[in-house]
Amino acid sequence: SPLPAGPVYSSGWGQLAYLVLGGAAVAAAALHVAGAAPGWLVAALLGLRGALVPLGCFFAPAGVFGKVLLRGAPTRPLVALTFDDGPDPVATPRVLAALARHGATATFFVIGDRAARHPEVLAQIHAAGHQIENHSLRHAWGTAFAPPARLAAELRQASALLAAVTGQAPRWLRAPIGVLSPRVFAAARQAGLGLCGWSGKARDGWRSTSVEDATRRLLRALRPGAILLLHDAPELLSASPPSDPRAGPAARRQEPVAADVLDRLLPVLAERGLRPVRLDELLQAAAPDSQAAGRP
């Protein structure tokens, strides 16, 4: 089959099925009250719709709750490196140094609270020519269940913190822990942000992931248009960064491995003729009419 000309987003079939099943369940319930439909039909429709919820929360390609960017156009030899959970005053500079060694640019999805604590690190990311986007204000487990108005206000607050350093408002949101929900989509729309996913991830936010494991996962996902996910800070939702003196022993045990992964991964990209770029450059490489859909 021909390669898509533009960026690839999550399927619209998941969202269509979610909406159709919801409407069908309401109609069947009304008919049941009128005595024209059996109760088991209502239960079956609600059960099928309910089965789509975990799929929509944890599997972005299904697109159950809305459109998510998954990868760029595969027609040019470009790959977007993205980093979550920073900035961190120890780990992020190591990642920046590794990127500089290999002449690579990347996109950093940063947490607003951490950016407020370490504005000097955020400024280093920007000064090095990397793209900075929104990864929520607090990176909490409950983000997907927060009231949309409150979450939208937090997203706008995080965007304002980032724009104060970069001079440009973020355009993309990556949901904390990658968990999606109708509330996340509603809040993102209110805050003027599109949802960005990934096509390959290192799982380097887990303490059990070695440099070798993370590199192997990314190499399996390596192809033109890929959006690769790494972490430039510990993926700990309730603890301070390991460099923070307030951090407890659990936080200090996790050492981000992304810088070491880059030293193994980026030479392979060069060997395969793939160029690591910012997310905006990956999307600009597409035809103008094809990249318009889904852009915030």
Task: Give me the amino acid identity at 33.
Answer: V
Q: Residue 87, preceding bond cis, omega within 30 degrees?
A: yes
- Across the strands, what pairs with 81? 228
Strand, coil or helix: what is 77? coil
Q: How far apart are CA 194 and CA 170, in angstroms?
A: 10
CA-based radius of gyration for the chain? 20
Q: How far apart are CA 98 and CA 256, in angstroms?
A: 13
Q: β-pairing, 78-84 with 200-201?
A: unpaired
- Across the strands, what pairs with 231? 84
Strand, coil or helix: what is 32? helix
Backbone φ, ψ for residue 9 (5° rounding): -115, 170
Q: How far apart are CA 199 and CA 221, in angstroms?
A: 7
Q: Return all residues near 164 (Cβ < 8 A) that are at least 6 apart.
A: none
Strand, coil or helix: what is 263? helix
Which residues are designated catalytic?
Answer: 84, 231
- Across the strands, what pairs with 227? 80
Q: How far apart are CA 234 and CA 232, in angstroms?
A: 7
Q: How far apart are CA 281 and CA 270, in angstroms?
A: 18
CA 284 to chain CA centroid, nearest Å: 19
Enter the tokens of residue 177. 């822990």
